[in-house]
Amino acid sequence: MNEEADTGGLFAPERVAVIGATEREGSIGAAIIQNLADFTGDVVPVNPSRDTVFGEPCYPDLASVPEPVDLAVVVVPPPIAVDAVREAGEAGVRNVVVITAGFSETGSEGAQREQELRAVAAEYDLNLVGPNSLGVLSTPAGLNATFGPSNALPGSLSFMSQSGAFITAVLDWANDQGIGFKDVVSLGNKAVLDESDFLTHWRDDPETNVILGYLEGVADGRAFIDTARDVTQDTPVVVVKSGRTEAGADAASSHTGTIAGSEAAYEAAFEQAGVVRAENVQELFDYARSLDGLPMPDSDEVGIVTNAGGPGVMATDAVGDSGLSMASFTDDTLSTLEATMPEEANIYNPVDVIGDADIERFETALDTVLADDSVGCAIVISAPTAIVDYEELAAVIAERRLEHDKPVVACLMGGERAEPAADVLGEAGIPNYFDPARAVSSLDALSVQRDVEARSYEAPESFDVDRERAREILTDAADRGARRLGVEAMGLLDAYGLPTPDSELVEAPDAAESAAASIDGDVVMKIVSPDILHKSDIGGVAVGVAQEDVADTYETLMTRARNYQPDASILGVQVQEMVDVDAGTETILGMNRDPQFGPLLLFGLGGIFVEVLEDTSVRIAPVSGREAGEMVDELDSAPLLRGARGRPSADEAAVEEAIQRLSQLVTDFNAILELDVNPLLATEDGVQALDVRLTIDPDQL
């Protein structure tokens, strides 16, 4: 990401130089010159070995070009590409697209070359796209600085893609579908400019209505979330993130890490940033079209008008599967429909105007449904009949949609018969689908985006914590060479305000006795050793120890530990207040660091819910109160926290606060690589962290 990027010149240059221009058939240099034929500005071929290119004068180098160049497209071979970029910098060119491949995607030599490229870009403060890019394209200026076989139609979608080949496929297909673009950029290796830069650029571009992305990863996870969260407040961002099945490849070794891999991190990041995620190419463009052409619905209630019962039922099913619901019409609406529709019609939603409906009946029904205040959006469905002319119906739908200013999508079902109507609808921003399920899901995307825009950004709360004490605990552990900490690090949680039981680490039987005496009542005793991870398995935990047995138990635990592993480093025994776990619900609160997004928080109910049912929720830290609340809400097992089946109900506010406090801890200390609070006992009166395990990296302290 380039903090200072003024990326405007990339898409709206006045003069474009092609470094490596040529006429050789099949060459990239020739393809780009040819694709630039419609560019409204000047095209300047640069190549020391040519005098002209396709009849235009060719310059030996950028320095020889008499007029200022704002965009240089570099297609020279890899060994001289970096020099070409430097020349551009020297010549005062701000924007550079490096088409040349043979950089970090090809091994260590290429990676070294990319490092040099990045250094040159930094030196001259260049807005650099690529390397290994198909190029950039912007329809208002007729700029097609790509070497792909297709140009784009004009439109208001802007599209970035980590795959150049995918751009060529999409453009060819989109031309056929009548889908147009404002800008297209092939991100290539993202050596300098990355997805966050383009998000920012397009947010500020009044000609871009919707931002689309095909991403395989993001360059800087934190920057992406922060940028996208801001951009999506005004401009929809729809992304296909591929490489989902590599989920878990980078998963850390801890229990938490195993469950929440990096696909989970992307899912969380997109959710937190308000990015609308498309699962596949079809969804990407279905969502794009409705977000581009239609207003947001005021409510999620769908009204359906159809002349065909079956497809009406299919649409109703799809509504049931979506985040939308079927509108219940007001009495007024029903009376109007009753008065205007024939007796055989169904006036309840979905409204069936039946097979002999003419345009007027369709119009009356649609008008009545859209006039109903409870209806947020509508779908018009028609099977082919001899009575209805699809083009006329399309015109009526477009008119009614505008009139009521509610989103409407169409299913004028058919093949070629439907095409002219689809064009009429398309002009009005209304998508037409054969499959009612797609119509519904394109409306659903509007509802999702509306909710994204409605939610105001809430900064993570900053709790009053004892950061210094936490640092001391971590530093002390690091100083004694510890990498994995256990119950002895409970003080870390305490320092950040997570309630913990009374507890003391002792190193002798008599110290154990006095610790127990100060706690009062029966106690729990646990061996503390960085070398013994599964304390229970070796009998290293004693529960319900009476005061008089504390000293003996101390010896027993030590003996077991030494027998188990004679060379284990043993820090002592933790003497801890007995907590009645049956009074609450055991939960797990954990964190592992995702390589892209940093601290990934995980929350779930303990035991089987996490391990067998994998019922967990994740968010990237730091989280806000709203996000902490979502982490609880999302669990299938959430009702159990709320007293389902006669279980003790938990203090949810306390749970959410614990999530936020842990979020603050792991955000404050990068040295904490992984952390599990397990269990975090949630009761009616609050929460208590009963045990903790973490891994630290002393180099980050």
**Contact set for a copy of itself, span 603-632 (CB under 8 A):** 607-608, 611-613, 615
Distance CA 554, CA 145 (A): 75
Q: Does 149 bind a copy of itself (CB under 8 A)?
A: yes
Distance CA 73, CA 33 (A): 10
Q: By rule CB under 8 A, what count of residues binds a copy of itself?
A: 74
- Dihedral sign, Cα of residue 138, residue 143, residue 149, residue 150: positive
**Among residues 112, 253, 282, 559, the one that binds a copy of itself under rule CB under 8 A:** 282
Q: Which of 570, 555, 480, 544 is nearest to 511 (CA)?
A: 555
Q: Which is nearer to a copy of itself, 205 or 691 (CB)?
A: 691
For residue 163, give the amino acid letter.
Answer: S
Q: Which of residues 398-427 bind a copy of itself (CB under 8 A)?
A: 413-418
Q: Which is nearer to a copy of itself, 223 or 314 (CB)?
A: 314
**Among residues 56, 332, 344, 520, the one that binds a copy of itself under rule CB under 8 A:** 344
The contact mask relative to a copy of itself for 99-138 (x = CB under 8 A, - = no) is -------x--------------------------------
**Among residues 95, 104, 162, 364, the one that binds a copy of itself under rule CB under 8 A:** 162
The contact mask relative to a copy of itself for 211-250 (x = CB under 8 A, - = no) is ---x-x-----------------------x-xxxx-----
Measured CA distances, 321 to 288, 382, 446 (Å)? 20, 21, 16
Q: How far is the CB of 461 from a copy of itself (least distance, A)?
A: 30
Q: Which of residues 52-71 bind a copy of itself (CB under 8 A)?
A: none
**Among residues 318, 516, 666, 680, the one that binds a copy of itself under rule CB under 8 A:** 318
For residue 136, the surrounding DSSP H or E stretch is strand 135-138
**Among residues 78, 153, 175, 471, the one that binds a copy of itself under rule CB under 8 A:** 175
Q: Which is nearer to a copy of itself, 7 or 162 (CB)?
A: 162
Cis? peptide before 236, omega within 30° of 0:
no
Q: Does 667 bind a copy of itself (CB under 8 A)?
A: no
Q: Which is nearer to a copy of itself, 119 or 387 (CB)?
A: 387
Q: Residue 604 corresponds to which tokens in the numbers above?
A: 């779930």
Q: How far is the CB of 218 from a copy of itself (least distance, A)?
A: 15
Binding region for a copy of itself (CB under 8 A) out of 4-12, 61-69, 319-327, 397-405: 319-327
Q: Which of 639, 682, 484, 638 is nearest to 571 (CA)?
A: 484
Distance CA 414, CA 411 (A): 9
**Among residues 92, 320, 342, 544, the one that binds a copy of itself under rule CB under 8 A:** 320
Q: Which of residues 427-456 bind a copy of itself (CB under 8 A)?
A: 434-438
Q: Residue 644 corresponds to which tokens in the numbers above?
A: 């389902």
Q: Which is nearer to a copy of itself, 607 or 648 (CB)?
A: 607
Binding region for a copy of itself (CB under 8 A) out of 77-85, 170-178, 449-457, 693-701: 170-178
Q: Which is nearer to a copy of itself, 174 or 601 (CB)?
A: 174
Whether the Cβ atoms of residue 216 and residue 162 lie closer than 8 Å to each other: yes
**Among residues 204, 321, 531, 582, the one that binds a copy of itself under rule CB under 8 A:** 321
Task: Tokens 């130089």: give the residue.
Answer: 17
Q: How far is the CB of 349 from a copy of itself (least distance, A)?
A: 12
Measured CA distances, 420 to 76, 242, 306, 321, 411 (Å)? 46, 35, 20, 30, 13
Q: Which is nearer to a copy of itself, 321 or 552 (CB)?
A: 321
The contact mask relative to a copy of itself for 558-597 (x = CB under 8 A, - = no) is ----------------------------------------
Q: Residue 576 corresponds to which tokens in the numbers above?
A: 């801890």
Q: Which of 121, 158, 165, 131 is nearest to 143 (CA)?
A: 158
Distance CA 701, CA 687 (A): 29
* Local structure of residue 548 (DSSP, 8 states): G
3-state secondary structure 147-159: CCCCCCEEEEEEE
Q: Which is nearer to a copy of itself, 282 or 518 (CB)?
A: 282
Q: How far is the CB of 332 from a copy of itself (least distance, A)?
A: 26
Q: Is 504 helix (H, G, I), strand (E, B) or coil?
A: strand
Q: How far is the CB of 147 from a copy of itself (least distance, A)?
A: 9
For residue 398, the surrounding DSSP H or E stretch is helix 390-404
For residue 612, give the amino acid letter.
Answer: V
Q: How far is the CB of 389 from a copy of itself (least distance, A)?
A: 12
Q: Residue 112 corresponds to which tokens in the numbers above?
A: 């070294």
Q: How far is the CB of 647 from a copy of itself (least distance, A)?
A: 8
**Among residues 130, 131, 148, 274, the one that binds a copy of itself under rule CB under 8 A:** 148
Whether the Cβ atoms of residue 682 and residue 647 lie closer than 8 Å to each other: no
Q: Which is nearer to a copy of itself, 282 or 569 (CB)?
A: 282
**Among residues 299, 328, 330, 385, the one that binds a copy of itself under rule CB under 8 A:** 385
- Listing DSSP states for 293-336 in one string gives HSPPPSSSEEEEEES-HHHHHHHHHHHHHSS-EE----HHHHHH
**Among residues 3, 4, 24, 26, the one that binds a copy of itself under rule CB under 8 A:** 26
Q: Does 163 bind a copy of itself (CB under 8 A)?
A: yes
Q: Which of residues 495-514 bind a copy of itself (CB under 8 A)?
A: none
Q: Which is nearer to a copy of itself, 164 or 530 (CB)?
A: 164
**Among residues 133, 146, 150, 333, the one that binds a copy of itself under rule CB under 8 A:** 150
The secondary structure of the chain in percent helix, strand, coil, rounded to multiples of 5, reads 40, 20, 35
- Listing DSSP states for 20-61 in one string gives T----TT-HHHHHHHHGGG-SSEEEEE-TT-SEETTEE-BSS
Which residues, including other chains, have CB under 8 Å from residue 631's CB and lie 6 or more apart? 601, 603, 617, 618, 619, 623, 656, 659
Q: Does 258 bind a copy of itself (CB under 8 A)?
A: no
Q: Which of residues 194-213 bind a copy of itself (CB under 8 A)?
A: none
Q: Does 639 bind a copy of itself (CB under 8 A)?
A: yes
**Among residues 386, 456, 459, 548, the one that binds a copy of itself under rule CB under 8 A:** 386
Q: Which of 568-593 are b and which e, b meaning 16 or more Cβ less than 10 Å from the residue's Cβ?
A: eebbbbbbbbbbeeeebbbbbbbbbb
The contact mask relative to a copy of itself for 294-313 (x = CB under 8 A, - = no) is -------------xxxxx-x
How do strand 598-605 and strand 616-620 relate by DSSP bridges? antiparallel
**Strand-pair partners of 73:** 18, 97
Q: Which is nearer to a copy of itself, 18 or 640 (CB)?
A: 640
**Among residues 88, 251, 319, 445, the one that binds a copy of itself under rule CB under 8 A:** 319
Q: How far is the CB of 536 from a copy of itself (least distance, A)?
A: 11
Q: Which is nearer to a copy of itself, 27 or 475 (CB)?
A: 27
